[in-house]
Amino acid sequence: MGTALRTPPAPRPELYRFSGLDLTTAGLYLAVAAFITVAGDLLAPLLLQLSPNPAVASYSVNLIFYGTIGLLALAAARHVAARDLRVLATRPWFTLLMVPLAVVVMMILTAILVALSGPVQTSANQAGLQALMQQVPAWLMVPLLVIVGPFVEEYIFRHLLIGKLGRRVNIWVCCALSVVLFAALHIVGQEQMTLQVLMPYLAMGAVLVFVYVWTGRNVMFSYFVHASKNLLAVIFIYAIPPEVLEQLQRLQG
């Protein structure tokens, strides 16, 4: 892939060496994700203690988890993030044009892959988010879904899996791992792991991997694309009445 910003993949090699903080952050992220997958039911009593409203309790747990991981990720990747922002600042029009274009490409690719894979199926992750957003106001959901969540996932799946691991393992292997693991994270633990459920996340992961490598492993560019896509989804869900959204989903199914 070419480099749109003319930035060498690793102008400062020390930024792409694994640090103790990287391992701590990634280890905590994987440990909590694995626990939720294997023993998520054990969290139910704790959630009820936090709040009698399951949606509020679920939001609180997610905010604490992603907030903690987000702070660790920011501390670990602060120098890379600062450098990537400076690079983007030298090409402001490129960023302003290419971020929304990447989101559009992501949506088109998703629509094509979903159409080819068969009837549309809503993942448990997506259904859970929609149910949560119907009970939690937008001003609380935006920090989680648009600001913190995308940064954590870009740090884990792009910066660590491609930017850093790519110095030790073939870059194409790292890209494939990034796409597959990113998609798997969003559907793991579901009763039915079908191709139709997996496809939207594979398409999203593929576009994020492409823009990350294409821009010279610029994690902030892939973060802006990821955050913009999530923001569009948040606006879409909050703008459409729940009953209309349910009818649309029935038509798609």
Q: Per residue of the chain (253 residues), what is the pLDDT tens digit?
A: 445 554 444 457 788 999 999 999 999 999 988 877 776 666 666 666 666 676 777 788 888 899 999 999 999 999 999 999 999 999 999 999 999 999 999 999 998 988 887 766 666 666 667 677 777 788 888 999 999 999 999 999 999 999 999 999 999 999 999 999 999 888 876 556 677 778 889 999 999 999 999 999 999 999 999 999 999 989 888 887 665 555 545 444 4
Q: What is the pLDDT of residue 236?
A: 85
The predicted structure's pLDDT at residue 122: 63
CB 94 within 8 A of CB 209: no
Q: What is the per-residue pLDDT for 7?
A: 43
What is the pLDDT at residue 246?
A: 57
In a domain, 118, yes or no: yes
Q: Which of 3, 14, 8 is nearest to 213 (CA)?
A: 3
| 5 lies in some domain | no
Residue 22 lies in a domain: yes
Query: Is residue 121 in a domain?
Result: yes
The whole-number pLDDT of residue 87 equals: 94
Domain assignment present for residue 189? The answer is yes
Give residue 202's pLDDT: 93
Q: 128 lies in which domain range?
A: 13-252
Say what the pLDDT of residue 88 is.
Answer: 95
Q: Does pTM surpass 0.85? A: yes
Q: Following CA atoms 35, 36, 42, 46 in sequence, which dihedral angle do they give, to the nearest 10 degrees? A: 110
- Predicted confidence at residue 10, as pLDDT, reads 46
pLDDT at 32: 86
Residue whose token pair is 């009593």: 45
- Is 128 part of a structural domain of the chain? yes
Residue keyed to tokens 């604490």? 64
* Any domain includes 242: yes
Q: Is residue 237 part of a domain?
A: yes
Domain count along the chain: 1
11 within 8 A of 97, measured Cβ to Cβ: no
Three-class DSSP category at 245: helix
**What pLDDT does 212 receive?**
97
